[in-house]
Chain A
Amino acid sequence: MAGYGLSWAYLLPSLAVFALFVFWPLGRSIYLSLHGSDIFGGAGRFVGLDNYAELFTEPRFLKVLGTTALFTLFSVVPAILGALALVLLLEAQIRGAKVFRTIFAMPFAFSVATASVVFSIIYNPAIGIANGLLGQLGVDRVHWLTSPDLALLSVSATTVWMNLGYNVLVLSAGVGAIPQEVTEAARLDGASGLRLAGRITVPLLSPQLFFLVVVSTIHALQSFGQIHILTKGGPDEATTTLVYSIYENAFAYGSADFGLASAQAIVLMVVVLAMTAIQFGVLERKVHYR
């Protein structure tokens, strides 16, 4: 019994932190999602599941969910595959690999806000360098952020650039941890290039890749800064993701609809949990742990 008491005592600090920063806000969100909002955003009258009903009967919200899914796809997959390609290239014993590795990892040092501001200048339709360079090639102006067809891709590209550095760091560390004897043995057996990468390096990197898939997906689902700075969810709501929609309902434009925003937050939590569960259920089986 004394043992139990002691373990609870050890758990207490982290439980206290969790209770304060996770469980209490979660409970509060559920509570708010079941109420209307007064003009200050406080809980108004009890409305039951009305806020949820409002969400799922609005075509807008379905569009938001779709945008969120596309943004996640467009920002997670290229950032991981791109980082993997870069790391494999660096393995090819080229001169100055260390310098390149540092350069590739550099975006990690940028805050979301800084990178987004830089990209918003790059993307400016009239004076941005992206159109400036294309203009040199005789290509007409591209409306990176102001065309509803392109905006989501442009914001995703910015996100890919930002995440690339972290992904390169994680995968480089993973490659560094692959025992020399394994790769040397494979080389002696005549494997090289793509074959070595596909059969030996990538499978041995699978724990890192799995980690990146899970973490990047959660990150993408929670992205806010780049959308806020680059497009504010526009044009014509083409980049309004779930998190951005929560922000708009709760804080933006003088809105204080905390009830609706909290209902969306609960939906977001369920989505994140479901995605993570699916990834653990499906992908993790293929992960090779040494």
Chain B
Amino acid sequence: MRRLALLAGAALLITSCGSGGGGDAGGAPAAGVLKDKVTIEFWHSMKGANAEAINQLVADFHAKFGSKVQIKPVFQGNYDETVAKYKAAVQQENTPALIQIYDIGTRFMIDSKQVVPMYKFFDVDKYSTADIEPNIASYYSVDGKMWSMPFNSSTPLLYINKEAFEKAGMDPNKPPKTLDEITKYAEKLTVKDASGTVKQYGFGSATYGWLLEQLLATDGQEYCDKGNGRQGLATKVQFDSASGAKVADWWHNLVSKGWAVNVGRKTDDGQAIFKSGTVAMHLESTSALRGYVDAAKQNGFTVVTAPYPKLSDGSKGGPIIGGASLWINGVGHSDEEKRAAWEFAKFSATPEEQAKWHVGTGYVAVNPKAYDQEVARTWAAQFPQFATAVDQLHSLPPSTASAGCILGVMPQARQASEEGLEQSILGSKPGAQAMKDAAASLSRAIEQYNQSVK
């Protein structure tokens, strides 16, 4: 194991650093290396229905390639926990051959110098990426080269409680398009009883940094410098711009007027209030849609989906693709293991598997050909609300802003932005100041990170 790591390290010194910084762990082996049966571990963060979909995917893979490759899926907790465990595994030289890492871990994975980038496998196999949704591919690409295989992707949506709109005499098919419109709508949609207790809020979502990232992207703003971290290591975050402050003040205004409820930072709590029918408008990922439709049925309302709102009238961008991708670890792994990991990653992106994945989980398909599959069509007929997500994704104007920021400490940046939003919502600081302080609090972490990967 140690010797392999040394070899890989030596290989790294020779092939070293692509132009985007970071480094990879050697070349991609061709199909010929797979002779004897090889078993590899696959670490992921999917639970519940999504874990079942993973098991189905693995079973399908075994049916086809089981004689040569066996995949052992291992659930490692949520995305953050998986990254923490991966870091420990790197130190112990005991990484899995294949791992699912969230979008905001991309820069870290590149800098870890542990992985064989996907584009090397594409080259070896003459694999065409034409089938991969370009807007999704762009997130995981640096200098036009894809480092990981997109796996589960989602976009943000505006969720609407149809009956709440109708009771207020509003048309649910004319959703608000900007933050200011949400405010206007929220006022009308807030319902109080005789004693003044709020029975229904116009708006409510968890204080989730991802939503801010999305809003800034709709405004065409880059979240971090150096072209969203794609032209070199980003040195600072930019959510303390006027647009960031606008989001913070907007949210504060909604809550202080009593038109929105502050449920804190946990997305579970945010989802619970929409499911219960307590809020009329709500921002969340497409991946929550399926659960919402089921809950709405029980609670006697109908879910309508609308495109994610833009920051203001002049905003010309579109949201970023969230989700996670598959990474192949090179350091400490044999050619057989690397190749086995690639075979599985490749298999997961086929139209057949993506269709099943899309239906089983609610994530958008990484490979748009999946929508032509029978299962996907049946599903689309059953959940017409989903079309909004797919249309939004296809109509996205590709830009640096909507490719998303890749930053080594991106998860911490998200957390800091939530702190800023929270301080503004609670009224402890004005929006601009709160976001400025939050952005400044990251300087130590960014500096330390950039220093340690140089």
* Cα–Cα distance between A39 and B415 once the two chains are bound (Å): 18
Across-interface contacts of B90 in A (CB, < 8 A): 40
* Cα–Cα distance between A41 and B83 once the two chains are bound (Å): 11
* A237 lies within 8 A of chain B by Cβ: yes
User: Contacts A126-B273, A252-B80, A253-B412; is A140 near B197 (CB within 8 Å)?
Assistant: yes
* From A37, A125, A126, A143, residue with most partner B Cβ within 10 Å: A126
Total number of B residues with any Cβ neighbor in A under 8 Å: 48
A-B contact count (CB 8 A): 107
Across-interface contacts of A143 in B (CB, < 8 A): 262
Within 8 A of B (CB), among A34-91: 36-42, 44
* Cα–Cα distance between A125 and B414 once the two chains are bound (Å): 24
Whether A253 contacts B411 by the Cβ 8 Å rule is yes
* B24 lies within 8 A of chain A by Cβ: no
Across-interface contacts of A237 in B (CB, < 8 A): 419
* Cα–Cα distance between A143 and B112 once the two chains are bound (Å): 42
Which range contains the number of A residues in contact with the other chain? 35 or more
* Cα–Cα distance between A12 and B276 once the two chains are bound (Å): 59
* From B84, B409, B411, B453, residue with most partner A Cβ within 10 Å: B84
Q: In the complex, which of the residues B87, B264, B276 contacts A234, with contact meaning CB atoms closer than 8 Å?
A: B264
Within 8 A of A (CB), among B224-281: 261-266, 269, 272-273, 276, 278-279
Chain B residue with the shortest CB-CB distance to A121: B272
Within 8 A of A (CB), among B264-322: 264-266, 269, 272-273, 276, 278-279
* B65 lies within 8 A of chain A by Cβ: no
Q: In the complex, which of the residues B81, B262, B278, B449 contacts A39, with contact meaning CB atoms closer than 8 Å?
A: B449
Across-interface contacts of A251 in B (CB, < 8 A): 80-81, 84
Cβ contacts A222-239/B at 8 Å (1 or 0 each): 000000000110111100
Across-interface contacts of A140 in B (CB, < 8 A): 196-197
* Cα–Cα distance between A232 and B411 once the two chains are bound (Å): 15
Across-interface contacts of B411 in A (CB, < 8 A): 253-255
Chain A residue with the shortest CB-CB distance to B453: A39
Q: In the complex, which of the residues A39, A125, A256 contacts B111, with contact meaning CB atoms closer than 8 Å?
A: A39
Across-interface contacts of B395 in A (CB, < 8 A): none
Q: In the complex, which of the residues B81, B273, B409, B448 contacts A124, with contact meaning CB atoms closer than 8 Å?
A: B273
* Cα–Cα distance between A146 and B339 once the two chains are bound (Å): 49
Whether B197 contacts A124 by the Cβ 8 Å rule is no
Could you list 11 examples of A-B contacts with CB < 8 Å?
A124-B272, A127-B272, A138-B197, A141-B197, A141-B261, A143-B262, A146-B262, A235-B426, A236-B419, A236-B422, A255-B412
Known contacts A126-B278, A236-B422; 4 further A-B pairs (Cβ under 8 A): A40-B112, A127-B273, A138-B195, A254-B84
